[in-house]
Structure 1
Amino acid sequence: VPEFVKEKRFANWLRDAHDWAVSRNRYWGTPIPIWVSEDLEEVVCVGSIDELEELSGVRVTDIHRENVDDITIPSRLGKGVLRRIPEVFDCWFESGAMPYAQLHYPFENKKEFEDGFPADFIAEGIDQTRGWFYTLLVLSTSLFGKPPFKNLIVNGLVLARYLMGTKMSKRKKNYPDPIEIITQYGADALRLYLINSPVVRAENLRFQANGVKDVLKDVFLPWYNAYRFLIQNIIRLEKEEGIVFSYKDEDLGSSSNIMDQWILSSMQSLVLFVKQEMQGYRLYTVVPKLVKFVDLLTNWYVRSNRRRLKGEGGLDDCLKALQTLFNVILTITKTMAPFTPFLTEHMYQNLKRIVPGLKSVDSVHYNMMSQPVESLISVKIEKAVSRMQSVIELARVIRDRKTMPTKYPLPEVVIIHKDPEYLDDVVSLSRYVTEELNVRSVTTSSDKDKYGVSLRAEPDHVVLGKRLKGDFKSVMSGIRQLTNDQVEQYLSSGSIQVLGHDLVAGDLRVIFQFEKENSKYEAHSDNDVLILLDVTPDQSMLDEGVAREVINRIQKLRKKAKLVPTDDVTVFYNAMGSDKYLCNVIMAHGEYISNNIKSPLKPYPVPVCDIIIKESTQLKGSELEITLVKGHEHVTNGPLCRFLNIQLRSNGANITGCGEKTGVVLLENPVQSNHITLEQLHEQAKVLFGQRGRTLKIYTNQDLTTGKMN
């Protein structure tokens, strides 16, 4: 494994193999046990220490040259004495004898040898096709007529990153210190980086420390965050509902939620795949699937079911979602244990407390590998969700292309496909399409002409230019003249002929164009399904997007303060901008923001209380200051604001002494209550502006700007 080493590299070496000179003219090594007469006519090959003692009368236990070179054997043919030849064995001969030498076979351990020979598998680098693999096979075939192993796993070589991938060298110091890599990123990250690299396909790898970092960032952190999210919501369930979560296998598969069914099916399909591939010693196919599943778990299942897992869909639905996620986290922990032993052990020690049957199993590595529960596998559901994912990913490409973040709602996504089953699958999951793409509606159709979409083709200049050379210009012109129907035929069949040249998948770039230049849609396709996204949001959608930006800023501040979902906080805000747009959006969407952050949202001023964290940020041309304080109820000893700026204005009547006078009123009453009443405020304003005996009306700045004063 892989197959090409067996069929090509190793097979070619065996086919062209030369005679093997097993002797070496060196001092250090295993002496060749051959004694000869001076004329080389009499030859004795000694098979054991006992036989040497019997022939020579000398007993030795250390058979290196310094102990055996002086031993002589009397000649049976009257040729005097026989002396050992001076050569030693080629060291590869000793390596090839490993299966027998390690057990001192045939002198001892005969049964142990026969029970373990041939070995289930061996593993070494690809450079050993001419070394250990070959010598093992030669000696085993000579002695027993069969190979010494049933399976052989070949790995490539880990090379230095620079200097064209040269061999790592202590002298050149062209590689990072492994201890520093492990200290910085962990042994599991290094381990997974190597076994998810070309090395396990018998190809060479230019080692890059950034690759280890990426494993930590792209695999371990999302996976660990999903595990932590599970634990946090189990704790939340106990705190809010008074229920101690307990995992039960018999409850598995009882959920009617299609995403629960999908992730369980995907998990069991993965377990089945891992079992089959590991039995075939195809390590290079296993780890990419495991890494891909972590992405499906974290970026699809957990992301699309966060509200359910937090209990927002009701207690029963929350328990089913938690049971599902717990099973998947536990199963992937067991499945990944051979590849990431330390991280999985850490997770397992917490998870096993919730499963009665696992409390006595001390380590994840004491568990047998998970066996697939094939009754939970549904190919139909996996296909439906895969189609939904394709739709979402294609639409996200359009958003990225138009620099429209997902936080901002869009009116509509149109999914065009000729297969009704495909469209039915997407419709059954339209709720998730709506949430993930943040669109108001999902429309399906099998008629792209209805939306004024046509296809045209462009050549891939790099691919075709290199292949067609002088014919490229004429073929390029022919490609650009292809009709919509011809391009559709190319997409369905995967090939087309242009000016006598066969063009296949990858030779052409298919471009979608609209008949109307001012179409509200943007298009993207994977040559299977066509996605149209309405990219013309109205003002209400833009406002909602800003509100989502505010939510994002608050949640990031909570994370920065290392708060957990169960921490009670109140959020105070101050939106400072000349046009008041941000302030108006927050006020209009206050309930929406509060529901999403699960905390009260209040405008400044901040009361005298325990402030957790404060931060200012820029948003839509305004400065937004956010303050998080402990608790939900805040009782103060005085008003939220101690002073009030007031201004005396005339409504048109001739009031003596009235100009544009301003003043400050103290809102605290140090004699009686902690704050003054509205009637006392009137009296203080009259005194301040010398208007005793007159009736004054009090308006806020907002009343003035909206015209309520008139």
Structure 2
Amino acid sequence: MDPLLALSAGAQGLGRDEISSRTPEENTLKNAEVHELSFVPLPVNGEFELDLHRPYIDRVALSCACGGVMRRIPEVFDCWFESGSMPFAASHFPFEKKDWFKNHFPGDFVAEYIAQTRTWFYYMHAVAGMLFGSVPFRNVVTTGTILAEDGQKMSKSKGNFPNPALIFDRYGVDALRFYLLGSQVMKSEDLNFSEKGVKDVANKVASRAENVLAFYELYPAKEAMKDGEAPASSHVLDRWIVAKLSALVGDVSSAMDAYELDRAVRPIATFIDDLSTWYVRRSRGRFKREEKGGARETLRYALVELSKLCAPFMPFLAEDIYIRAGGRGESVHLAEWPACADRSTSSFLRQFFGVSDGASVLSDMETVREIVSRALLARAKAGIKVRQPLETLAVKREEARIQAQAELLELIKDEINVKNVVFGAPIQEEMELDTRISEALKKEGQFREVVRAVQDLRKENNFTPDTLAVLSVATDDAGIVFIKEHEAALKEATTLSAIECTDSAVGEKIIIDEFSFVLSLTP
């Protein structure tokens, strides 16, 4: 197009279609012809800067195809009505997609910041009510305001906020996401942001889950199982963690159905703690044995199902767990959400284990853990290490259900490190420990201290659990007698191929009561 013609057409406010529809004579400028260009004045403010606001825009007049003049309509409708029309205008209803709109209106949920309650949310309700006699959405997720740690508004000028990039680098994006989703900000309340809170999530939730996963990789399951298929183990710890997982599925699912994200997040942290500090710790010995359908398969099942529950809240950690624990799908984010038929723990346990009262598995273990917690507190008050065996724990209550289950009794004895547990004892306190230490109990405690020292050496040397090592011990005659007396048990407990008594004093020195040892390990 002739540049002068384009200039003339632009000055008249003509569009492309209007220019192309004109006759050749109208689209031709003759040489040396004087041609007046009547430019539409651009709106400028007092500084002669382009300004499209009132009152400057009111000076603009454009030519219309009808021959008239176009000017801004002075009456302006509140722009929030346009935003409030989103539920139907986004699909271009009523001009098209009428059937689609009928099946998708009102929306399942809307999510926005708390200030939108008086603007966007309000106008959506007003418009939908006037046009359809309906609400525009069924559920709402409204967040509060994230403030600085001292309660002040975060501000660039004050610099009273942490660098998000540094938070990501230090703790990971999943930790920050989990921290915020589990906070009161998800209930429309203000949150004083705390970096320590993010750090706690990173250490107590994310890192703890990663540690459980790393432990599983040392003893991976041998049997290939489908996702969602619980192993048929009768061991009380396996039944308990599956019951806890089933309850977790119900808790998280019901909270998600109610759009209460903070309530959905919190039980996940509790489950990870139970999985790590109780199930894995109490099951370590079983992982070394080849048990079909036992601890290894149960832990794999728990990790894979846990990854599905974590996916909306910690997507990167969830994907890592799902892949490394042997999830059968392409991605955890494409997997089916875990669910029981009726989300009932009792029904679930009856289905998989034939337990008549599934809830009792959870309540019995809670009783066991309560007894253990109080007994360990009594140990601490008496100043006696847990590695030192004691003879008897006396419990005032009868606890008939616990007495009837040998596995639970063994859990209590192993965790507290006592030889016997007596229920219904005629004592004043709720429970009492016999703190008298016989010579035999003292020797057993000393043996456990040696085992702990050797295990620490294995860890320092980065030995895997199946690495056979040779232990060199430098000690006196009494120490040699002690080591020889416990040689077989020490080799089994610490995966040793041999124990050599030597005069060399190179290694880790430990003192246990009257014994002094210098220990070193070689593969």
TM-score normalized with structure 2 length: 0.77
Maintained 8 Å contact 2:388/2:441 = yes
Aligned counterpart, 1:221: 207
Cα displacement (A) at 1:379: 0.9
**1:436 correspondence with 2:415:** yes
SS at 2:140 equivalent: strand
Distance 1:217 1:328 in 2: 20
Cα displacement (A) at 1:627: 1.6
Maintained 8 Å contact 1:546/1:585 = no
Change in 2 beyond 3 A, CA 1:192/1:109: same
Distance 1:248 1:106 in 2: 47
Distance 1:170 1:581 in 2: 70
> Which one-letter code corresponds to 1:550 in the other structure?
V
Cα-to-partner distance string for 1:445-489 (whole Å, 9 max, x where unaligned):
0x6xx22x1xxxxxxxxxxxxxxxxxxxxxxxxxxxxxxxxxxxx
2:191 to 205, 212, 231: 205
Moved more, 425-434 or 146-155: 425-434
2:459 to 536, 540, 559: 559
Distance 1:178 1:199 in 2: 18
Aligned counterpart, 2:388: 408
Structure 1 stretches lacking a partner, 5+ long: 1-62, 75-79, 236-243, 454-522, 524-529, 608-612, 631-710
**1:264 correspondence with 2:157:** no
Maintained 8 Å contact 1:309/1:318 = no
Maintained 8 Å contact 1:384/1:425 = no
Distance 1:250 1:81 in 2: 70
Change in 2 beyond 3 A, CA 1:174/1:622: farther
**1:159 correspondence with 2:142:** no
Maintained 8 Å contact 2:143/2:186 = yes
Between the two proteins, what is the percent identity of the paired residues? 32
Give matches, 1:629-640, under 5 Å.
629-630=522-523
Aligned counterpart, 2:218: 232
> Which one-letter code corresponds to 1:573 in the other structure?
V
Distance 1:336 1:421 in 2: 38
Cα-to-partner distance string for 1:612-647 (whole Å, 9 max, x where unaligned):
x954456558764332212xxxxxxxxxxxxxxxxx
Cα displacement (A) at 1:151: 0.4
Give matches, 1:243-322, under 5 Å.
244-247=222-225, 252-311=230-289, 315=290, 317=291, 319-322=293-296
Change in 2 beyond 3 A, CA 1:249/1:172: closer
Structure 2 stretches lacking a partner, 5+ long: 1-51, 342-346, 351-357
Aligned counterpart, 2:369: 389
Aligned counterpart, 2:304: 330
Distance 2:411 2:85 in 1: 62
- Give the RMSD, CA atoms, in angstroms: 3.3
Give matches, 1:59-138, under 5 Å.
70=60, 84=72, 86=74, 88=76, 90=78, 92-138=80-126
Aligned counterpart, 1:592: 489
Maintained 8 Å contact 1:253/1:376 = no
**1:605 correspondence with 2:502:** yes
> Which one-letter code corresponds to 2:156 in the other structure?
K
Give matches, 1:256-655, under 5 Å.
256-311=234-289, 315=290, 317=291, 319-352=293-326, 358=328, 361-372=329-340, 374-376=347-349, 378-417=358-397, 420-421=399-400, 423-424=402-403, 429-445=408-424, 450-451=426-427, 453=428, 523=429, 530-575=430-475, 585-600=482-497, 602-605=499-502, 614-616=507-509, 620=513, 624-630=517-523
Maintained 8 Å contact 1:234/1:245 = no
Cα displacement (A) at 1:438: 0.7
Cα displacement (A) at 1:187: 1.2
Distance 1:201 1:614 in 2: 57
SS at 2:220 equivalent: helix
Maintained 8 Å contact 1:416/1:531 = yes
Change in 2 beyond 3 A, CA 1:324/1:159: same
Maintained 8 Å contact 2:149/2:193 = yes
Aligned counterpart, 1:684: none
Maintained 8 Å contact 1:161/1:208 = yes
SS at 1:536 equivalent: coil
Distance 2:277 2:443 in 1: 26
**1:174 correspondence with 2:160:** yes
Distance 2:110 2:406 in 1: 51
Change in 2 beyond 3 A, CA 1:249/1:575: same
TM-score normalized with structure 1 length: 0.58
Aligned counterpart, 1:140: 128
Change in 2 beyond 3 A, CA 1:597/1:108: same
Cα-to-partner distance string for 1:325-380 (whole Å, 9 max, x where unaligned):
2211111112211111111212222333xx7xx2xx32111111012264326112
Change in 2 beyond 3 A, CA 1:277/1:604: same
> Which one-letter code corresponds to 1:137 in the other structure?
H
Ranked by relative contact order (alpha carbons within 8 Å, sequence separation 6 or more), the top structure is 2
Cα-to-partner distance string for 1:382-432 (whole Å, 9 max, x where unaligned):
1111111111112122223333221111221122226x5455467661011
Cα displacement (A) at 1:108: 4.7
Distance 2:418 2:281 in 1: 17
Distance 1:375 1:264 in 2: 9
Distance 2:239 2:359 in 1: 11
Change in 2 beyond 3 A, CA 1:207/1:542: farther
Distance 1:166 1:273 in 2: 35
Change in 2 beyond 3 A, CA 1:538/1:331: same
SS at 2:233 equivalent: coil
Cα-to-partner distance string for 1:497-525 (whole Å, 9 max, x where unaligned):
xxxxxxxxxxxxxxxxxxxxxxxxxx5xx
Distance 1:619 1:69 in 2: 95
Distance 1:92 1:296 in 2: 49
> Which one-letter code corresponds to 1:438 in the other structure?
N
Maintained 8 Å contact 1:412/1:533 = yes
Cα displacement (A) at 1:539: 3.5
Distance 2:143 2:60 in 1: 44
Aligned counterpart, 1:495: none
Aligned counterpart, 1:11: none
> Which one-letter code corresponds to 1:304 in the other structure?
R
Change in 2 beyond 3 A, CA 1:554/1:196: farther
SS at 2:134 equivalent: coil
Distance 1:233 1:588 in 2: 31
Cα displacement (A) at 1:85: 5.4
Change in 2 beyond 3 A, CA 1:248/1:90: closer
Distance 2:423 2:475 in 1: 41
Distance 1:175 1:107 in 2: 48
* More strand per residue: 1
Distance 1:101 1:177 in 2: 39
Cα-to-partner distance string for 1:627-676 (whole Å, 9 max, x where unaligned):
2212xxxxxxxxxxxxxxxxxxxxxxxxxxxxxxxxxxxxxxxxxxxxxx
Distance 2:468 2:406 in 1: 39
Cα displacement (A) at 1:70: 4.7
Change in 2 beyond 3 A, CA 1:88/1:550: farther
Task: Specify the structure having the higher radius of gyration (Cα).
Answer: 1
Distance 1:91 1:531 in 2: 70
SS at 2:496 equivalent: coil
Change in 2 beyond 3 A, CA 1:132/1:538: farther
Cα displacement (A) at 1:232: 1.4
Cα displacement (A) at 1:537: 2.5
Cα displacement (A) at 1:125: 3.0
